[in-house]
Structure 1
Amino acid sequence: MKFKKIIYARKFDGNPKVSDFEVVEYHVADDLKDDEFLYEALYISCDPYLRLLAHTYVVGETSIPGYQLSKVTKSNNRKYPVGSILVLNVGWRSGGISNGSDVLYIRNDLPSNVPLSAGMGIFGMTGLTGYYGVDRVLRPKSGDTLLVSGAAGAIGSVVGQIGKILGCRCIGSCGSEEKIKFVKSIGYDDAFNYKTESVTEALQRLAPEGVDCYFDNVGGDFASQVLSHMKKRGRVAVCGAVSSYNATEPARALIMQPMMFLKSIVMEGFNIFDDIPPHADEMYAVLRKWAEEGKLKQYEYVTEGIESLPSTFIGMLQGKNLGKTVVKI
């Protein structure tokens, strides 16, 4: 059978370009060995961390990594029969053969009130990451003020919803007026445009008594400035640092340690590779219940065709998306 994959064709120099990627065709035999199954991609995820990992890619060899929602089309594996819907860690490819070692989650039981792509969004790494960061790292109390950077993106759109479910007052940071309208429409109490209003001005206006919890997706000077506006014993969940992913020089930020010890601020980083897998099943059950109750929704930006993955990925890094960015195959 014939499939397509995306490889790393040229070294990124700052912002990735479409020419840095190449679409390659490949063939797989459909005569399966024991425990193997044939899968075809339904949706492929575009995530900022793929840019962060670029230093590990080998030009001309590395297939772009990542997660996809796939359907089993032929199987010699009793655990994954034909028709199974799976989240696979197989990268940007339209299909292939697996022995099950690439399977992250089975998603045969998605609620009927969400799109299939939710298996790659609120019920995939995006939703699990948002839930873990809020519930397990920030541990907010009802009434806490929760600030979220990158609020209109994949993680931010989930974190805001979860924060509201848990009783927080949610403030989002965004890069445009369109995104401010978007985050308010999905439940954020307020938001500001960091391009037209400084962190200090915005938080003096929106959180004059201070911020209890900060979910950090961007890092850099923005994150450092937020610390000045946090309450005593505030909590920070470090999920990403997208502001520096395309930097060609080492990123520099304000010194944050004095504010951390003066205010007894707790800052904790976490990632999808080490921290989330042990808790994935129990967190999925909670997310699924919230979705069935109509409290948690999938917000997404969808393009089509594996060839569109590079341009979609680049646009996502530039902040052109609202919600989770996925490519329908």
Structure 2
Amino acid sequence: MLEIQQLHKVFPNGVVALDGVDLFVPRGEILGVIGRSGTGKSTLIRCINRLEEPTSGSILLDGRDVTRMRGGELRATRRRLGMIFQQFNLLTSRTAAENVALPLEVAGAGRAERRRRALELLALVGLEDRAGSYPSQLSGGQKQRVGIARALAAEPSVLLSDEATSALDSETTDSVLDLLRRINAELGVTVLLITHELDVVRRVCDSVALLDAGRVVESGPLGEVVARTGSALATGLLPSLGRVEVGESEIALDVVLLDDDADERLAAALTDGARVEARATERIGDRRVTRALVVTDDAADAPRLADELRVRGARAEVAR
């Protein structure tokens, strides 16, 4: 479990990078932290592993405050915080296996143990046949897989991923995200994932937090966030309905329903003169999400229809 309480980071030049961040990451989940460049995302992740010193606040890892740790206690805790970097940060003079084994070498593990663990992890990330390859001989996606394997070398309980897919093409990004989700499921590793892409959040995360000007302005499980009225995150996370033409005299409602009985609840709310003009369904986080454009030719009945949909657990807003 990772919990961040009122975390502040003010740089010597007076720039406030983090301004009272509160976050909670349950054990075994993937939390995506999203925001524009300059909002404090990378500073947040570097404060968690103490590559940056927080100005104030607490970072609790299984109830113990990382900000108060020094010396050997801090070094031991850092081994529980695996780090995946945007630009891979592999040593060019070392093979893939030697890069993966580096954290174990620093920790004092023997040569045989380092080799065994490195080969095991390279197999986990699908690179068992590239153990002897140098970074210059690997593609971008393969380098990132080596970086992920290295981050797992010391058997961390938390993985910190700093824009790990932003330097990759879309196909490679998908394969790396699938790998992170598999590692999360198979090893039970908690993941805090920094990104600027909502598609990454939609694809792999259980929950999301929006960071703006060093503050968390919205957060929650994906299934709950997409159902919130006025959510800044929901628009980007919801399934797209494409371009839909609606008659001049008609009223359109943008409707969102969660879970497997959404179609039945939607059909039960419709009245004469109302129809579903477009519909899309996909799984977001741990919930099945249905988005529909409901159109009625009776403008006076639109508020009642919206209320009926809300009674049935939908988010319903007038689209036009």
Return the TM-score normalized by structure 1. 0.25
Return the TM-score normalized by structure 2. 0.25
